[in-house]
Structure 1
């Protein structure tokens, strides 16, 4: 059984998150944007931390057995709010029977 944890974005190393978000297999499922670098990942994280402070929003990193698996959140979009789940393909299909 795998342990899933949801932690604040401030708990992740930006460079680790950058590597994950730059995975080609993950990027094929996202809006097209340039690959992250050290500067752009910091700006992205700062923006998501600001989003987390908005009432009704929550942004978290996802750890699976202590390993960074991705991020998820409730965030604003053009129609109100959206649920974002961005998980590295390496972790697809992993189950936690506690849910």
Structure 2
């Protein structure tokens, strides 16, 4: 098993998370502390090559965009959104 990554959430993504319904926010927090922390590359998919450092993960009603730093074993969550909302802010 690979070492666990440190997951941090950007201030703007934390605000987005706080605006979501409690159930959705809870699902996302469980994802951040579980699959994303354990193996961020397996938990999501890379975005297009123009955003090669950005990864995406989705759930039933949410989407997050994040960056992975393999050197420091860290993950930075940049955007948290309900799936019906666009996430263009991550570009």
TM over 0.5: no
TM-score by length of 2: 0.29
Which structure carries more helix by proportion?
Answer: 2
TM-score by length of structure 1 reads: 0.27
